Structure 1
Amino acid sequence: MPCPYTGIMNDLTNTDHVFHREVGRDYPVAARASGVYIYDTAGRRYLDGAGGYFVVNIGHGVTEIGAAIADQLARFANAHTSHFTSEAEQKFADRLIALAPKGFAKVWMSTSGSAANETALKLVRHYHLVNGEPQRTRIIARWNAYHGGTIGSLSMTGQPRRRDPFEPYLLDFPHIEPPYCYRCPFNLTNPGCGIACADALEREIRRVGPQYVAAFIVEPVSGGPLGALVPPAEYLPRIREICDRHGILMIVDEIITAAGRTGRNFGVDHWGVVPDIITAAKGIGGGYLPIGAVIVHHRVYDAFERKGQSFRHGETFAGHSVVAAAGLATLEYLERHDLIRRAAEMGAVLGARLKTLAALPLVGDVRGLGLLWGLELVRDKATKAPFPRALNVSDMVARECANRGLLVVPGVGAVDGIDGDTVSLAPPYIITRAEIAELVTILGQAIEAVAQKLGA
């Protein structure tokens, strides 16, 4: 049977008018999905180790979510938020606030992760206007972070390969190095490093001028090319202290990690840090409908309320009742089946199994938290030398996995935005020990096959 990355697109090739993500690639056609598996029209089965794309948490084909969507559709679909709220929107917001750290007060619904981060960017700007500090316009972000594909969110994104084609459009936002202990940019070792990666924020604030900095945006655990990068224990508390000292808002991008992906309600909960704004998407809707949310601490919302100011922003489909119903049903399902605890439990199992792959050729580092894990692939384990980008090693591994019935997330640019390959995993929380064994076995076979091709 053809590899899904190179084979014939089943029976739809001649009628395909879709502008696909990759030119020249033939995609299999998904036919159905159940549990942790997706099936294509050719009868192939794929273990969804990618969770869609860090999205599917409660599993595929959960009938309760479909029923909630159908029930809301039967009542009404679109009552625009300029005229109405809805019971579904209100209950969904209540659930998110109940999950969030103490002090969060309001939820602004959005339509995606990119849109949520774009909304947060505008909210930060408007907040400082309301507070009489219009000069605070700069948002500091981190290199190799991904915050979205819209112009504002892409300006915060730190991945050169995503930024470069659109550089003339982007806002001039500064970036600092991430807490990349495997390749410390400061040539230090943790513990004992003094968390120089956090102090980089202090230096950048002073370089820009504290009075001009509006916010710092940070992923608690980095997805994308950094491959589930987990910061040192002191990192986020230090970041919070620096932001507080300079009157800067702290935005935590939980697009990937919200709703239990790391084994806690939110990724930031592992460090006991309370940010000012949390952005969420992906798992808060389980992959059933496009969704996003900006969760706002009372200290931010109160500034608008004190001045009687409304946030000047909106999207046609933000707060859509059917989307809210799907999100609410997803969060209720997570709670009813205790799946966030299960994500922590199965995450420990997955992590232990993945660490056995560290002995394989190409595997330089294995890292992660909960059910978000990454493997960094290297040409030389001793020197940590990466493969040249031209070899597309992470794509090679992903293809070998798909050919064996496993979906993973390849990443490139971990080292310098160009070189550096990772493979990330984010399976549904319902994954079993047997399915974890299947996942790790296939991944190991794929890595060995690529190593053989490369002569490693």
Structure 2
Amino acid sequence: MTAVENTTRTEAGATPDAPALSPHADAAGRHLWMHFARMHGRDGAAPIPVITRGDGVHLWDDRGRRILDGLAGLFVVQAGHGRRELAEVAAKQASELAFFPVWGYTTPPAAELAERLAHLAPGDLNRVFFTSGGGEAVESAWKVAKQYFKLRGRPLKHKVISRATAYHGTTHGAMAVTGLPAMKKDFEPLAPGGFRVPNTNLYRHPEFDGDAEALGRWAADRIEEAIAFEGADTVAAVVLEPVQNSGGCLTAPPSYFARVREICDRHDVLLVADEVITGFGRHGVPFASAKFGFTPDIITCAKGMTSGYGPLGAMIASEKVIEPFLAPGVTFPHGYTWGGHPVSAAVALANLDLMEREDLYGNVLSHADAFGATLDRLRDLPIVGDVRGDGYFWAIELVRDRDTRETFGPQERERLVRGFLPGALFEAGLYCRPDDRGDVVIQLAPPLIAGQREFDEMEQILRGVLAEADKIV
């Protein structure tokens, strides 16, 4: 049977007028173990969506439908889909040298990219440790922090403080830093030493009456309180995102980060900025920590570094952090086979060139307010409680009752987040992210080439789908 015949025939058990299951959806339903996804029911009644190609800010599925990519893949595709020049760089590098590790060696792309990242990073963050992705970068940062203090004769300093609801990765170490209990319960016990402090969700702290500065002071003080409670001689690092992803694009005033920087310095604690999402233009600058007015000791990054045209992450450390590792006989016994992969490194260099040449940073800075204002129109819908974010990274918080800010119960969340919203938005032509790891939000983070036309399209699709969602709940 040909592929065409296979896509048009009626599958066993399907109704005659139901869409036929494509060969790729069928194969995925039988064999693909998907990430962060329920596997039950992935058959002809609920086939796995198959994305076949992308161009610019749009995707196409195997049914020929065009979908606006409102999430840049997964906060990744900064330069947009279908960039032939990046594919050509990958092919050229693979034909010259497809692989060699950076375990005591280097390749030209890895060396050049390390230098490039050091120049982009704030302050004296000059030392680049490559990983395969963001979670591995966070894992590496914690291990560096532990060994850093051991090398300095302070072996008890091993704990990490992070914020409630924050997501930092799925490895056992990164998951211990993550502030999402429901994500961790099936894998406990995790690496010991992760402790939580409040985040900066102003909408969920109405007692501050919209005063972000007051909330920032209060939240920063909770970090110092946690360090004192655990004992400064046991705390190695504080890990935070310049804009917190999980919970829905939680921002904080620059004074918050300045205060956290002072607290970490006073107690000899490393400050780690998790910039896996916020790095490489998502907020109109190479690294959002600089935009929000602080210089961390370590940056973790990934995603937008290659615009998704190759897997790559990095931990970027300051000269202070690297100093004890430069002593004779010292090794950091840690690494990844694919870290600094020459093809991905070459693509990253080309991607950074492209972003500068087309001024994608400037595009974000000049359009960010318009993006927020366009989404802000949705506040007239009763189901919309808050619209918040920065740059090209925004969230819409959905509520059961806007006056009381009452959120949804478990059954309503099930119907909305895992039932109605993902499919309805996709069918309407928008790929984005309904999420309830904190309160119920829809996250939007399009490619950095997007403009007002795409903002308007997102708003119109969201308006129609959210009006229907309001009826459901």
Q: Which TM-score applies when normalising by structure 1?
A: 0.94
Match of 1:448 in 2: 467
Q: CA separation of 1:241/1:112 partners in 2, compared to 1, >3 Å: closer, same or farther?
A: same
Segments of 5+ residues of structure 1 without an aligned counterpart are 415-419
| Residue from 283, 296, 317 that aligns with 2:338 | 317
Aligned amino acid, residue 436 of structure 2: V
Q: Does 1:18 align with 2:39?
A: no
- Give the aligned partner of residue 204 of structure 1: 226
Deviations 1:36-66 (A, max 9, x none): 1110111011100011111111000101110
Structure of greater Rg: 2
Q: Residue type matched to 2:232 in 1?
A: P
Aligned length: 445
Per the TM alignment, residue 310 of structure 1 is displaced from its structure 2 partner at its CA by 2.3
Question: Aligned pair 1:148/2:169, yes or no?
Answer: yes
* Structure 2 CA distance for aligned equivalents of residues 217 and 354 of structure 1: 30
Q: Per-residue CA shift, 1:304-343, capped at 9, x if unaligned?
A: 2245522111111111111111111111111111101111
Amino acid at match of 1:440: E
Taking the aligned partners of 1:94 and 1:14, their CA distance within structure 2 comes to 45
| Cα offsets for 1:59-79 (capped at 9, x unmatched) | 001011101101101111112
Give the secondary-structure state (helix, strand or coil) at the position aligned to 2:317. Answer: strand
Cα-to-partner distance string for 1:376-421 (whole Å, 9 max, x where unaligned): 101111111101132232443332211101011111132xxxxx20
Q: Identify which range, 105-114 or 298-307, moves more after superposition.
A: 298-307
1: CA distance, partners of 2:467 / 2:210: 30
Deviates more, 1:190-199 or 1:379-388: 190-199
Could you tell which deviates more after superposition, 315-324 or 421-430?
Answer: 315-324
- Counterparts of 1:41-440 in structure 2, within 5 Å, are 41-184=62-205, 189-190=210-211, 191-193=213-215, 195-224=217-246, 226-306=247-327, 309-392=330-413, 393-395=416-418, 396-414=420-438, 420-440=439-459
Aligned-residue offset at 1:14: 3.7
User: Which whole-Å CA distance do the structure 1 matches of 2:206 and 2:183 have between them?
Assistant: 21
Q: Is the 8 A contact 2:66 2:429 kept in 1?
A: yes
User: Conserved in 1, the CA contact under 8 Å of 2:216 and 2:253?
Assistant: no
- Write the distance in 2 (CA, Å) between the matches of 1:369 and 1:189: 17
CA distance in 2, matches of 1:9, 1:172: 47
* 1:136 shift after superposition: 0.3
C-alpha separation in 2, matches of 1:399 and 1:296: 42
* SS of 1:95 mapped into structure 2: helix
3-state SS, counterpart of residue 253 of structure 2: coil
> Is the 8 Å Cα contact of residues 216 and 256 (structure 2) preserved in structure 1?
no
Q: Which amino acid aligns with 2:334?
A: H
- Per the alignment, in what secondary structure is the counterpart of residue 53 of structure 2? strand
Which amino acid counterpart does residue 206 of structure 1 have in structure 2? A
Q: How far does the alpha carbon of each residue in 1:86-123 deviate from its partner, in whole angstroms, 9 at most, with x for none?
A: 11011111221121112111111100111111111111
Q: What is the identity, as a one-letter code, of the residue corresponding to 1:11?
A: P
Does the CA contact (< 8 Å) of 1:346 and 1:429 recur in 2?
no
Question: Following the alignment from structure 2 to structure 1, what is the Cα–Cα distance between the partners of residues 370 and 215?
Answer: 30
Tell me how far apart the structure 2 counterparts of residues 401 and 64 of structure 1 sit (CA, whole Å). Answer: 31
1:123-160 per-position Cα deviation (integer Å, ceiling 9, x unaligned): 11111111111110111111100000000000000012
CA distance in 2, matches of 1:22, 1:342: 37
Which has the higher mean CA deviation after the structures are superposed, 69-78 or 12-21?
12-21
**1:210–1:54 distance in 2 versus 1, CA, 3 Å:** same
- What is the deviation of 1:346? 2.3
Q: Return the alpha-carbon distance in structure 2 between the equivalents of residues 14 and 265 of structure 1.
A: 41
Residue in structure 2 matched with residue 35 of structure 1 by the alignment? 56
Give the letter aligned to residue 71 of structure 2: A
Contact 1:125 1:136 in 2 (8 A): yes
Judge which range, 74-83 or 38-47, deviates more: 74-83
Shift of 1:168: 1.9
Tell whether the 8 Å contact from 1:186 to 1:196 is kept in structure 2 after alignment: no
Contact 2:25 2:49 in 1 (8 A): no
Structure 1 residue 303: deviation in Å? 2.3
Give the Å deviation of 1:80: 2.1
Q: Which residue of 2 aligns with 1:417?
A: none
